[in-house]
Amino acid sequence: MRGTMKKDLVIIGGGPAGLAAAAAARETGVEDLLILERDQHLGGILNQCIHNGFGLHTFQEELTGPEYAGRYVEKVRSLEIPYKLNSMVVDLRAEGSRKIVTVMNREEGMYEIEARAVILAMGCRERPRGALNIPGYRPAGIYSAGTAQRYVNREGRMPGREAVILGSGDIGLIMARRLTLEGAKVKLVAEIQPYSGGLQRNIVQCLDDFGIPLKLSHTVVDIRGKERVEGVTVARVDENLKPIPGTEEEISCDTLLLSCGLIPENELTNGLGTSLNPVTGGPFVNESLETDKEGVFACGNVLHVHDLVDYVSEEAAQAGRNAAAFLQGNLSGRGREIPLVGTDGVRYTVPSSIDVSRMNETQIVRFRVGNAYRNAYLEVRCGGELLLSLKKPVLAPGQMEQVLLKKADLAGRKDLKEITFRVRTQV
């Protein structure tokens, strides 16, 4: 038990985002910082992602999840950044410019940390069965794909013998392969959308290579089994995603894995009174990845769900540098924030606004599209003027897109009201 501790910077979350943010903040000169991690290890969910494919952008190497995390953990240790494990942040609030972080753990009980700046890096969670409104019984054998992944990869335990996977998000695809390699039979991956939510490379490497069927525009409409799952009913859906009567197919299985989307974990963010973007589930941030509470930054999957961890690390490092600038008084006060607006297929943008006077020479804008497109153009417009047009052979919701804005293109425009991002399909 102790009184209030003071820190310049508190980073909530010791996964890939928190680690990269902490390292960058330290390298930019922040001495007094602390990482709070609720799990018993640093590295977050990467610890259970034992497949490879991580780090191609960051390290120009193919690493496994634990290896990728390990590089950052090593960096954090060599920079002597303090961290606390098994420490749950139970409350986050702002009192004037001070941020009060309430932490709980076994050794120290419950106490408050007063921080000048906070980086939100809490990650995301999987959408559960209940949120999908799948009718049927509630037996054992229904897992989110990530829970199953933890069992297979960390505990060496099988969650089932015959599985159907609902949702073709990346974790679901990866788990289809993993379960197969570990001796289970994956009978089907069903995806309610007419396109997959995962990366194309995962469809090829995880399903096609193992002969696992993927049924698009299909969903689970019933779960049977009172104690353990005995089977599911899969049906085709119409363009409104409603099951089409008469298309039902019963499949016997003892396991249903769900890979139906990830939800940023912003319950703490709510405590700050920060507004959340209903599209991403993450806070609105400006070019500095700063939320509408000054000195509170967000990065990684708590901000918006990423496809590759490399982009998480890059974004988090930017948040870390900006938090350092804020603490050092190098982040000038907020001026005129120009909204960035996604339209015509662009679902959202991160950041959601830009202060041209505060932006770097270039600014990465990340977003996802809401549909699958071929040979389309990504366009950026300023008022009526076309700033940028990029030809894209393939655009898919499973893949995060990014464009680079140049300060030179924006500075000096007095009439700048908003910048729009859109998909143009006609050539």
Partner 1 sequence: MYDVIVIGAGVTGCAIARELARFRWKTAVLERASDVCEGTSKANSGIAHAGYDAKPGTLKAKLNLEGSRMMEALSKELDFPYRRNGSLVLCFEETGKTELERLRAQGLANGVEGLEILDRKQLREKEPGVSDQAVAALYAPTGGIVCPFDLTLAFAENAAANGVEFHFTTQVTHMEKIPQGYRLDTSRGSYETRAVVNAAGVYAGELHNQISGKKIRIIPRKGEYCLMDKSVGNLVSHTLFQLPTAYGKGVLVTPTVHGNLLAGPTAVDVEDPESVNTTREGMDEVFKRAAMSVNGLPVKQVITSFAGLRAHEEGNDFIIGMVQDAPGFFDAAGMESPGLTCAPAVGKYVAAMVRTYLPAQEKSDFIPSRKGIPHIASASDAERKRLIGENPLYGNVVCRCELVTEGEIVDAIRRPLGATTLDGVKRRTRAGMGRCQAGFCLPKTLEILARELGQDIGQIRKNNGDSYFLTGFDKDGL
The dihedral sign for the CA sequence 199, 203, 209, 212 = positive
Q: Which of 4, 77, 82, 131 binds partner 1 (CB under 8 A)?
A: 131
Least separation in angstroms between CB 141 and partner 1: 8
Least separation in angstroms between CB 325 and partner 1: 31
Give CA–CA dist 220/367, Å, rounded. 29
DSSP letter string, 353-409: EE-TTT--SEEEEEEEBSS-EEEEEEEEEETTEEEEEEEEEEE-TTSEEEEEEEHHH
Span interacting with partner 1, options 14-22, 216-224, 324-332, 383-391, rule CB under 8 A: 216-224
Binding to partner 1 (CB under 8 A) within 393-422 occurs at none
Binding to partner 1 (CB under 8 A) within 298-327 occurs at none
Q: Which of 95, 106, 240, 384 binds partner 1 (CB under 8 A)?
A: 106
Q: Assess 241 for contact with partner 1 (CB under 8 A).
A: no
Give CA–CA dist 324/24, Å, rounded. 8
Give CA–CA dist 44/57, Å, rounded. 20
First to last CA, the chain: 66
Span interacting with partner 1, options 10-18, 103-111, 203-211, 303-311, rule CB under 8 A: 103-111
Q: In what order do the strands lie in the sheet with 373-382?
A: 353-354, 338-342, 419-424, 373-382, 385-395
Q: Which of 32, 62, 108, 250 binds partner 1 (CB under 8 A)?
A: 108
Q: Which of 60, 78, 133, 240 binds partner 1 (CB under 8 A)?
A: 133
Q: What is the contact mask toward partner 1 in residues 171 to 190, using x (rule: CB under 8 A)?
A: -----------xxx------
Cα separations in angstroms, 413 against 206, 296, 357, 418: 48, 29, 11, 11
The amino acid at residue 287 is: E
Q: Assess 240 for contact with partner 1 (CB under 8 A).
A: no
Contact 265, 125 (CB under 8 A): yes
Q: What is the contact mask toward partner 1 in residues 336 to 375, using x (rule: CB under 8 A)?
A: ----------------------------------------
Least separation in angstroms between CB 64 and partner 1: 16
Binding to partner 1 (CB under 8 A) within 70-99 occurs at 86, 88, 90
Span interacting with partner 1, options 64-72, 219-227, 296-304, 305-313, rule CB under 8 A: 219-227
Least separation in angstroms between CB 35 and partner 1: 17
Give me the residues paired with residue 217 across strands.
none
Which SS3 state, helix, strand or coil, does residue 8 take? strand
**Given the complex with partner 1, which of 227 and 361 has the nearer CB atom?**
227
Q: Assess 238 for contact with partner 1 (CB under 8 A).
A: no
Q: Which of 12, 152, 237, 324 binds partner 1 (CB under 8 A)?
A: 152
Give CA–CA dist 325/126, Å, rounded. 34
Q: What ranges in 267-373 are assigned the alpha helix state H?
A: 267-271, 309-327
Contacts of 104 (CB under 8 A, 6+ apart): 87, 88, 90, 110
Q: Assess 32 for contact with partner 1 (CB under 8 A).
A: no
Least separation in angstroms between CB 108 and partner 1: 8
Give CA–CA dist 213/182, Å, rounded. 18
- Alpha-carbon Rg of the chain, whole angstroms? 22
Q: Assess 273 for contact with partner 1 (CB under 8 A).
A: no
- Token pair for residue 322? 């900006």
**Given the complex with partner 1, which of 155 and 250 has the nearer CB atom?**
155
DSSP letter string, 70-118: HHHHHHHHHTT--EESS-EEEEEEEETTEEEEEEEETTTEEEEEEEEEE
Span interacting with partner 1, options 19-27, 58-66, 130-138, 299-307, rule CB under 8 A: 130-138
**Given the complex with partner 1, which of 182 and 418 has the nearer CB atom?**
182
Span interacting with partner 1, options 61-69, 125-133, 361-369, 404-412, rule CB under 8 A: 125-133
Least separation in angstroms between CB 299 and partner 1: 20
Q: Assess 159 for contact with partner 1 (CB under 8 A).
A: yes
Q: Which residues bind partner 1 (CB under 8 A)?
A: 1, 38, 86, 88, 90, 104-110, 125-126, 128-131, 133, 135-141, 143-144, 146-147, 150-152, 155-161, 182-184, 221-223, 226-228, 243, 254-255, 267, 270
